[in-house]
Chain A
């Protein structure tokens, strides 16, 4: 006749039976972590990182169940990481526009994505793409002064197109909350004087007012560059914008 009760294994056997599964679980987990670390190390030592694959927004949208804004945040974080990572390694930015485009396609009202996305593209010297992002943003958010202001800055600082800069700053000047210095810039551009002072003031404003340390650092670098140009220009006996 068999007994339903287990045979007694003594106190040592009891404690072994109690802790053996937990110990085995810890060992298995440690093994999994080790394998993961080895796999990651192998991946890092391999070829360059794989290019980012972009889903089509039209196909992605239904799967998001109305959380497009959150998905846009995710793509924005990827954009920032992509830009920062490549900036650090001094690499080119072949997928930067696609990343910014993906973000603003998912949430066409994402003001900061237009602003900083445009700025990243400017730094990457992708000016036509930056213009495209800014103008898309202006069409979507016509009441915000920031985008025509930034587009004017791109024309003025990078493309040296005072006529276009004047056009966009005049638009920004009509919008509520625009910065105090805009009328002064417009006056200078209309009179075609003080281009370098305007550039310096623009970067100073960015360095002082931006709430982002990275943007402030970039602005300070530009200020140093302009001041250097000014010094060299003074030594050379002339000024050139």
Chain B
């Protein structure tokens, strides 16, 4: 466990030294801030424009961090062969991979927290009241990013950085659209096709489950049990993808 934590801290330190991270964070905060200017063009709905745009930025720039910073952290070790040095220490391959994941997640948490805090303050200034439900939406965006980070690690284990980035972005698109598969499934006449489409839907990540922006922006009630189930779903899916990555990583020969 201490090995995992040591690698996580090392990965975190390495990530925060990366200039790409600061560029992404700067653009994200600039975009969230610029949404305040957009509200001056609106009649009504000013608060929700800031919230919607802010949550969009958090997801989009969080995805960039997961892809560009996350994949680089692992791929660099493999390309430069420094992974051999790490593996020569008394650290298991599983601990190494989980440590890297925790490090990237830590980096994402700090960045998402910074963006979320900026958004919360901006919404407070525009609406005149704190919107704590915004933090719930930000939390679930982080959960979505943790699923995507696990996929980024999975792809980085067996593929090149460019392909890993492309695959992770593809998973994001598929995950956001996977619910449509269920709609398509209902259109099929054949029972077996319906069952196959449903099976594919449940195997693929449904990232639309983590989007609470619409509910928060419209001040609609959030169901406590649905939130708990979504949190469990996200954690379980992340664990499953990470374990698959560990299984492939164990088989890989770095010589």
Contacts and interface: CB of A to CB of B under 8 A. Distances in A.
B48 interface: yes
A87 B207 CA distance: 42
A68 B173 contact: no
Interface of B: 38, 41-45, 48-49, 52-53, 56, 172-173, 176-177, 180, 207-208, 211, 213-214, 217-220
Q: Is the interface of B mostly helix, strand, loop or mixed?
A: helix
B233 to A, nearest CB: 16
A68 B208 CA distance: 11
B111 to A, nearest CB: 20
Contacts of B53: 70, 73
Contact of B43 (A65, A66, A109, A214): A214
Q: Tell me which of A62, A113, A115 has the highest count of chain B C-beta atoms within 10 A of its own C-beta.
A: A62
B209 to A, nearest CB: 10
A111 B172 CA distance: 30
Interface stretch (A18-26, A75-83, A124-132): A75-83
B44 A113 contact: yes
A66 B42 contact: no
Contacts of B49: 73, 76-77
A73 B49 CA distance: 6
Q: Is the interface of A mostly helix, strand, loop or mixed?
A: helix
| Ranked 4 nearest A-B pairs via Cβ | A112-B44, A112-B45, A65-B176, A109-B218
Contacts of B52: 67, 69-70, 73
B180 A111 contact: no
Contacts, number: 64
Contacts of B219: 111
A77 to B, nearest CB: 5
A66 B208 contact: yes
Interface in A201-217: 212, 214-215
A68 B214 contact: yes
A66 B207 contact: yes
A202 B195 CA distance: 57
A93 interface: no
Contact of B214 (A69, A111, A212): A69
Interface string A76-115: 1100110010000000000000000000000101111101
Interface string A123-141: 0000000000000000000
Nearest to B45: A112
B45 A73 contact: yes
A212 B41 CA distance: 12
A133 to B, nearest CB: 13
A84 B172 CA distance: 38
Interface of A: 62, 65-70, 73, 76-77, 80-81, 84, 107, 109-113, 115-116, 212, 214-215
B38 A62 contact: no
Contacts of B207: 66
A212 B42 CA distance: 9
A116 B44 CA distance: 7
B213 A69 contact: yes
A111 B218 CA distance: 7
B129 to A, nearest CB: 12
Given A65-B176, A70-B56, A73-B53, A109 B45 contact: no
A69 B176 CA distance: 14
B45 A110 contact: yes
Contacts of A107: 214, 218
A68 B180 CA distance: 14
A141 to B, nearest CB: 8
B123 to A, nearest CB: 14
B113 to A, nearest CB: 22
28 contacts: A62-B177, A65-B173, A65-B177, A66-B207, A66-B208, A67-B52, A67-B56, A67-B213, A68-B214, A69-B52, A69-B213, A70-B52, A70-B53, A70-B56, A73-B49, A76-B49, A77-B42, A77-B49, A80-B43, A81-B41, A84-B43, A107-B214, A109-B220, A110-B218, A111-B218, A112-B44, A113-B44, A212-B44
A109 B45 CA distance: 12
Given A73-B45, A73-B52, A80-B42, 16 more contacts: A66-B176, A66-B207, A66-B208, A67-B56, A69-B217, A70-B52, A76-B45, A76-B49, A77-B38, A77-B42, A77-B49, A80-B43, A84-B43, A112-B44, A116-B43, A116-B45
A227 B49 CA distance: 37
Contacts of A66: 176, 207-208, 211
Contacts of B217: 69
Nearest to B53: A70
